[in-house]
Chains A and B, each alone.
Chain A
Amino acid sequence: MIRRATPLLAALFALLAGCVVNDVRPVAKVDAVQAKTQIAEVELLDVAIHEFDPGIPAALADDVEALDKRRIYPEVRKAETRLIATRLKSTLETSGQWGAVRVVPSTVRFVDLLVTGRIVESTGMRLSLEITASDAVGRNWINKKIYSGEADVGAYKTDASLRARDPFQNVYAQIANDLLQARERLDATQRAELRQVARLRFAADLAPQTFSAYLARGADGLTHLVRLPAENDPAVARIDKIRDRDAALIDTIDGYNSGFSEKLFDSYGGFRRTSRDAIEREERVKSQARTRTILGSAAVLAAILAKANCAPTDYACQRLESAARTAGAVGGVAAVMSGIKKYSDAKVAAQEVKELATSFQNEATPQVVEVEGRTLKLTGTAEERYREWRKLLAGIYQEENARPADPAVQP
């Protein structure tokens, strides 16, 4: 009997000790594939990344408690719509595989490649993004694919390492590599056509009378080039002038986003790092609490319900059994108590995560308001200008195509 009781007790004690292994596995690093050769200018695609969707479930938008439980802090998410998009932009840019890569508002449409994203989960511990990418022709490169990854703890080590490599660089690199793979599926002619289509779609938006005929939608649902306008066409020159301004506008807005990202770089990194620690602590403590409560309860139950196996005359065995029961019951109760204590520790850690988020929120919100305000002001001005330019281009088109008056009709 003793033999039987010993391993049981040993196992019980080992488990009750809360021996939860907290392994921080090193994350294998993924890097964006770097361009090894110079890409021809005509094939170098420009990329616009829309500010991400914050991914706040509509059903929970007003339920702060439910959002807290999911570690969704709306103001933090609002900042992340730009911060995360900017990180992806940096990854694409440094890969050398793309032309101009910009973070822009969702109103920007006529670019070679458009990337949109939704934040599914974003904590200091884990990042999950839903990404869609489509080109000017209408091809879907990536369709609502989820990219997820655990934080690379090495990046949290120091401020400099945080600056050197984002903790979720793997996620960005995977997206970059998938985009690259999709691009590689296009041949040089398709890439060149794509650029021309983007250019002409922009032109057709401004001067449909002049440029719509150059493009047509095929049976495949994609926009194709019908023919190219003459390069010395004054209408093309006018559109190019406007497109230059459009590019400068996009650059300016992208500059706002970069500035915003730069301003919050350290505090966002710090927030992620400390919130990761707090989340990790919370999860570890929760896990310990769960284990202790379950095993403690089991020990108590075992102590009560275990059958007596000693012979009625074997007093030594009975004494030992009774001692084991008592020890099991006492240990079990202690473990349950300890579990309860751990649950309260987990609550404290959860509260800490929330406080960290609030603190970052307080710092980020004024910056979000500022960058949004500036962007809206500038895009508002640009909208007015575009309306004006559309009218002027339509007027010029009319004048260019006006039939000369028939002298015979003159009075």
Chain B
Amino acid sequence: MTRASTWWLAGLISLLGGCATTSGGLPAPSTPTSAPTSGGLPSPGGDATPSRSGSAGTSGAGDMSTPSASGGAEAGTAGDVAGAATTAEERRGTLDRRLDDSLGEFDKTLSDEQRRSAAERDARAAATAGSRTADTGKDVGDREGDLRSERGARGAEGKAGNETRRGGGDRRDRGAVTTGGGGGAPDRGIPSGDDDDIVARRLRRAAEQETDPELKEKLWKEYIEYKKGSKGGGG
């Protein structure tokens, strides 16, 4: 009890002594001495916190037409993230981890979107092909307009773009996809492709490359019809 009353007394005396630190509701005494600035308590380790007032963001920026020159101001906020660490090295490590975490979260967003897009594409391809079985969906990625399914699948593994520079990994050597076709033309009255014009050539190639038998059949039919039409002088 005596201890408690001692604390009480000490508190009272300190208050009466005008030891106001602005945090209290009482008006600050007009004594000009020792008036603390905002916040009252000095920041722990405040000396070690580097100034983030933005001298960094300006160097050399004038050379470029970079839209954001506010790096200095932003740095202050980022610095708060690492405020708990004591050394610059530790703080940098913390920020690096924050960056990696943020990238990882973004990867998740992207892979979810890519997965959704791939599913839609497969569903569309299945609908186009009519009665396709579930596993035929993967063929579609090889056709034009379905270029991203491979990337989508890769993205879904959370490795969005890790392997390469921008888009490079998914680049296909389009130079190889030129004219001419290999085999694949079934021998049932299909005219030779010697005198094919560009439309016929494309049709023929599409038919040759198609793996779905039903679609392949349709493409050959279109090819034959087109050839008949063009020979008939339909122009």
Chain A contacts to B: CB under 8 angstroms = 24, 26, 29, 31, 34-39, 41, 44, 46, 90, 93-100, 102, 153-155, 157-161, 163-165, 199, 201, 204-205, 207-209, 212-213, 215-217, 223, 226, 238, 240-252, 254-256, 258-259, 261-263, 265, 374, 378, 381-382, 385, 387-402, 404-405, 410
CB distance from B44 to the nearest CB of A (A): 15
For A90, the closest partner residue in chain B by CB is B144
Which segment of B24-32, B109-117, B129-137 sits at the interface?
Answer: B109-117
For chain B, the bracket of interface size reads: 35 or more
Flag whether B175 is at the interface (Cβ < 8 A).
Answer: yes
11 A-B contacts (beta carbon < 8 Å)? A34-B178, A94-B144, A158-B222, A208-B57, A213-B60, A226-B63, A244-B160, A262-B146, A394-B71, A396-B95, A399-B50
For the complex of A and B, the 3 pairs showing the least CB-CB separation, nearest first, are A395-B78, A96-B175, A100-B167
**A26, B166: Cβ atoms closer than 8 Å:** no
Complex contacts, A158 vs chain B, CB 8 Å: 222, 225-226
CB distance from B108 to the nearest CB of A (A): 11
CB distance from A3 to the nearest CB of B (A): 41
**B78, A254: Cβ atoms closer than 8 Å:** no
9 A-B pairs besides A38-B175, A396-B96 with CB distance below 8 A are A154-B197, A157-B234, A209-B71, A248-B155, A251-B167, A261-B145, A263-B124, A400-B88, A402-B88
CB distance from A216 to the nearest CB of B (A): 5
**A399, B229: Cβ atoms closer than 8 Å:** no
**A41, B152: Cβ atoms closer than 8 Å:** no
Complex contacts, A213 vs chain B, CB 8 Å: 59-60, 63
**A204, B78: Cβ atoms closer than 8 Å:** no
Complex contacts, B103 vs chain A, CB 8 Å: 241-242, 245, 389
Complex contacts, A255 vs chain B, CB 8 Å: 114, 117, 148, 151-152
**A160, B95: Cβ atoms closer than 8 Å:** no
Q: Knowing A36-B175, A165-B198 are in contact, say whether A390-B229 is a contact too (CB < 8 A).
A: no
Chain B contacts to A: CB under 8 angstroms = 47-48, 50, 52, 56-69, 71-72, 74-75, 77-79, 81-82, 88-89, 91-92, 95-96, 98-100, 102-103, 105-107, 109-110, 113-114, 117, 120-121, 124, 144-148, 151-152, 155, 160-162, 164-168, 170-171, 173-179, 197-199, 202-203, 206, 218-219, 222-223, 225-226, 229-230, 234-235
Complex contacts, A397 vs chain B, CB 8 Å: 56, 71, 75
CB distance from B83 to the nearest CB of A (A): 10
**B178, A392: Cβ atoms closer than 8 Å:** no
**B174, A395: Cβ atoms closer than 8 Å:** no
**A99, B177: Cβ atoms closer than 8 Å:** no
Q: Knowing A35-B174, A96-B173, A251-B151 are in contact, say whether A391-B165 is a contact too (CB < 8 A).
A: no
Q: How far does the alpha carbon of A31 sit from the alpha carbon of B198 in the complex, in Å?
A: 9
Q: Knowing A34-B175, A99-B167, A248-B155 are in contact, say whether A208-B69 is a contact too (CB < 8 A).
A: yes
Q: How far does the alpha carbon of A255 sit from the alpha carbon of B117 in the complex, in Å?
A: 7
Q: CB within 8 A of A163: which of B162, B168, B206? A: B206
**B77, A100: Cβ atoms closer than 8 Å:** no
For A388, the closest partner residue in chain B by CB is B102
**B165, A247: Cβ atoms closer than 8 Å:** yes
CB distance from A30 to the nearest CB of B (A): 10
Q: Knowing A240-B165, A244-B161, A262-B145 are in contact, say whether A100-B222 is a contact too (CB < 8 A).
A: no
In this complex, the member of B56, B64, B229 whose beta carbon has the largest number of chain A beta carbons within 10 angstroms is B64
